[in-house]
Chains A and B, each alone.
Chain A
Amino acid sequence: MAAIPDTDYGTPARASERSVTLTVDGMPVSVPEGTSVLRAAAEAGVTIPKLCATDSLEAFGSCRLCLVEIEGRRGYPASCTTPVEPGMQVRTQSPKLADLRRGVMELYISDHPLDCLTCSANGDCELQDMAGAVGLREVRYGFDGKNHLASPKDTSNPYFTFDPSKCIVCSRCVRACEEVQGTFALTIDGRGFDSVVSPGQLQAFMESECVSCGACVQACPTATLMDNSVIAHGTPDRSVITTCAYCGVGCAFEAEVKGSQVVRMTPYKNGQANHGHSCVKGRFAWGYATHKDRITTPMIREKITDPWREVTWDEAIGYAAREFQRIQRQYGRGAVGAISSSRCTNEETYLMQKLVRAAFRNNNIDTCARVCHSPTGFGLKQTLGESAGTQDFDSIDQTDVIVVIGANPTDGHPVFASHMKRRLRAGAKLIVVDPRRIDLVRSPHVEAQYHLKLRPGTNVAIINALAHVVVTEGLSDDAFVRARCEIESYEQWKAFVSRPEHAPEATEAITGVPSADVRAAARLYATGGNAAIYYGLGVTEHSQGSTMVMGIANLAMATGNLGRDGVGVNPLRGQNNVQGSCDMGSFPHEFPGYRHVLDDPTRALFEATYGVPLDAEPGLRIPNMFEASLDGSFKGLYLEGEDIAQSDPNTQHVTAALQAMECIVVQDLFLNETAKFAHVFLPGSSFLEKNGTFTNAERRISPVRKVMEPLGGKEDWEITVALSNALGYPMRYTHPSEIMDEIAQLTPTFAGVSYEKLDRLGSIQWPCNDAAPVGTPVMHRETFVRGKGKFLLTEYVATEEKVNRRYPLLLTTGRILSQYNVGAQTRRTANVEWHDEDRLEIHPHDAEERGINDGDWVGVVSRAGETTLRAHITERVQPGVVYTTFHHPESGANVITTENSDWATNCPEYKVTAVQVMPVFSASEWQARHKRFTEQQLTLLDDRRRL
């Protein structure tokens, strides 16, 4: 339950064009057809007592508190399960209803602890509220009979406690786990008086299928399921609506606070991305913001073998600025640059690119999108004209065929995955294209019609095969194409994709996917109704990442699956603000709004505002920065929130490049892997400590609101301002809203965005301008952004990363639900209880061939390097493919990934690395060196405290 009162309407809202008018206690009220009497009463301002009903869940009718009298009807129907009818006359109060409700409450309280004053839900308990509402004064049954008061608590979950002694078996938790989350981890075991909530098979929560999303805790009306933080600290007294700093869903949360201490993060019911749902990370794993590892004082050092010196902000900023200026004088203007990240707000990213362009006077600015969705930006810009997904999340409610390519939403975008599963349970069909059997392929009440289990690196072959079927079997939407696309490019593409080498029968040898499955999947996509493609890094992190994105757009255009609800090309951006960091021009070749630095009018526009000439040459991408560093022409780097020493491929190459630089300035919360090579550490601020905005995967700009003062004394944007001023380029912002105003002034797709409008609307999906004053949920409705859609030829080119006798397996990497990216945040929370190390998933056949048992240490060797992980034997991967995550620095997952990258954007080919795996008995040489280096750097950090 939420501590801060919020109207609970009892049952979900209904959408209907037909309105029904009834009277409740004599008051007329009009509601959409299908609305319950309970909700209609609430909308009329009449509160009917209830316990099992809540407006996030369908009506259940079990508690019998919400009984009403309806004129002309016998008995006392439950208002939650009774739909409104025209002219209905409802009475919500009468002596008989009062008796019935008191009787119900007597029964509940006869088997309930009477410890209200010391209960963690005191003041925030619906059972307590209902006892008061019905006027309960005595419990005639007494308290000496059989009861559940001695039921033991389940404290297995690190974030919440399950106290069955307080359970009223309203089943809200069970229903929340089914309807909202879709995991079905809970049930009611037993009947009648013996009914108990059962995680799994009467297991502890941590042993069950529970994914700790918190939906059950959110739904529970009593203290039965309660946040441990509330048990410890008491109920919060105010809340601040803000946006999650984890994945690209961008859930809206209420940060519930006592003073400046965050007590709980609860999903905001009116959040337009998440509609009141959350996952384990956003809901519970926010404690990293006040972890003991936080560094809150600026530090500098001349060499990375020196101890750190704690200094004032002025000293640190001044030192960094002088070093950057020295480097530019010595090595040239292009010898310095910066890397932003999704940890930055839009405003912070904008300032970083402005600092690079106006203070450094080059275009050496890049961002985390380089290593994930940069091919999305390139590919969708070429085909549709805009570097972003086409739909909002709610579009899926109109989808008939869902295609998931190279994504694992239940782990990477859990709240959206829950939404997707609801649509699948309602009847939508599912096609999964993935080398691995992701959870969506088969999970409770969800099963893919087709799982195209392709070999890693063969995406383009399969998209061409699907397109071949569509074109050669006459399944294209020619009317759509003629009206909306460049006909010449279409004809060229049709001829290309019709060639026999693109037929499923020909590509089967490449992809490993049976041709019959490809044909059936293509037919379903083209003819099954509204069809939407959702894709992730399994598309982009390949040497043909951009080509595959274009192939996806080609297929969507050819079948008319664009420009309305229920369809679309939907890149599942992995991070909270990776979309925003791209929108803000944190690219070496683009200004904010995806306009090329070579474009003279755009450059002139920015020059007029920035007041200095701007470089007309593209700058260095992140991988190019490493090359240039080793070449001696790139020596200074300013990073905010990005940990390239852990996240980028070929770790040894990256760290060699870092060691070749002369001034690395890291702005972050913790001493991360990159900071171990840094010369200046500027203490950053978490999302709880700053104001700004994030933009999620559906182009939704949402507010980030400060909940507590930054522990280091400055919000991240203030640090960039200070650095720019020290470099001699004045920045005079006093609040992030001023930065957004400047962004709006310079960027047509953001022209209508302001903090005032964000406060009023809650969030805005760009484009937001005169043509779309409240934003744009679905793009390309009448025309594509480039005018006519363009088909591009997508020849399959096999990756250069080949298996051979020495490296016979293909490694692919990905995420897991409980950890997030490099783990800087989640490793410093109790989420480590779910995933405390990265493991290598290997098929039983491959394991047996090598004498590997589950849990054995194995060496994983590639052309780039070697590391050691523990094996997990599973059939989720196919023979010939192994899989690991990258959340723990000591696992060295990126020691073995290579520098192969997407041809267009240099997005690393993380998903295809040829490896060999064998049992080992010690850590790898890299891991031993890493351990020694880490120990050395931590000692140098500790030494600072003694200076």
Chain B
Amino acid sequence: MNVEHLFTMANQIGRFYEAYPNRGEALQSAAMHLRRFWDPRMRLAFLQYLDTSGGEGLDAFMVEAVQAHRNELTPAARPAPPD
């Protein structure tokens, strides 16, 4: 996946939710947006790149959101193809 593009998308998501005064709620909403709308391979590529790049290029708000909800964002192993 084009991970730089994933970072761009994540930053845009973060900028919407960062406006909310309740920071905890805002962080959770931003993280859950990724959970609810991003295919697992996108989330996996994003998390892997976050780990290797240290989050360079990702806004601090999204770094915090993702780290706080990492378990929920980490996809389970992909299932086998259908029979």
Contacts and interface: CB of A to CB of B under 8 A. Distances in A.
A492 B38 CA distance: 29
B16 to A, nearest CB: 6
A906 B78 contact: no
A624 to B, nearest CB: 6
A547 B1 contact: no
Interface string A697-727: 0000000000000000000000000000000
B51 interface: no
Main secondary structure of the interface of A (DSSP, over half): loop
B79 interface: yes
Nearest to B18: A795
Contacts of B5: 627, 899
Nearest to B81: A328
Given A543-B12, A904-B16, A333 B38 contact: no
B12 A797 contact: yes
Contact of B41 (A596, A633, A797): A633
A268 interface: no
Nearest to A596: B36
Interface residues of B, number: 30
Contacts of A800: 8
A361 B33 CA distance: 23
Given A329-B81, A361-B82, A793-B20, A906 B9 contact: yes
Contacts of B81: 325, 328-329, 332-333, 361
A734 B34 CA distance: 40
A334 B39 contact: yes
Given A620-B39, A628-B1, A628-B41, A797 B78 contact: no
Contacts of B35: 598
B15 to A, nearest CB: 5
A797 B82 contact: no
A598 B36 contact: yes
A899 B83 CA distance: 36
Interface in A901-920: 901, 903-906
A795 B26 CA distance: 14
Contacts of A906: 9
Contacts of A925: none
A192 to B, nearest CB: 68
A795 B19 contact: yes
B15 A795 contact: yes
A589 interface: yes
Interface residues of A, number: 41
Contact of B19 (A624, A628, A793): A793
B82 A618 contact: no
Contacts of A492: 21
Contacts of B2: 627, 630-631
Interface string B16-57: 101111000000000001011111111001000000000000
B19 to A, nearest CB: 4
A627 B42 CA distance: 10
Given A333-B80, A492-B21, A795-B19, A624 B39 contact: yes
A798 to B, nearest CB: 10
Interface in A452-509: 492, 496
Interface in A572-620: 588-589, 596, 598, 615, 617-620
B12 A903 contact: yes
Contacts of A496: 19
Contact of A547 (B16, B18, B75, B83): B16
A633 B12 CA distance: 25
A618 B36 contact: yes
A627 B1 contact: yes
A855 interface: no
Interface in A331-362: 332-334, 359-361
Contacts of A615: 79
Contacts of B39: 334, 364, 588, 617-620, 624, 628
Given A333-B81, A793-B20, 10 more contacts: A361-B81, A492-B21, A617-B39, A624-B42, A627-B2, A628-B1, A728-B83, A795-B16, A795-B18, A797-B12
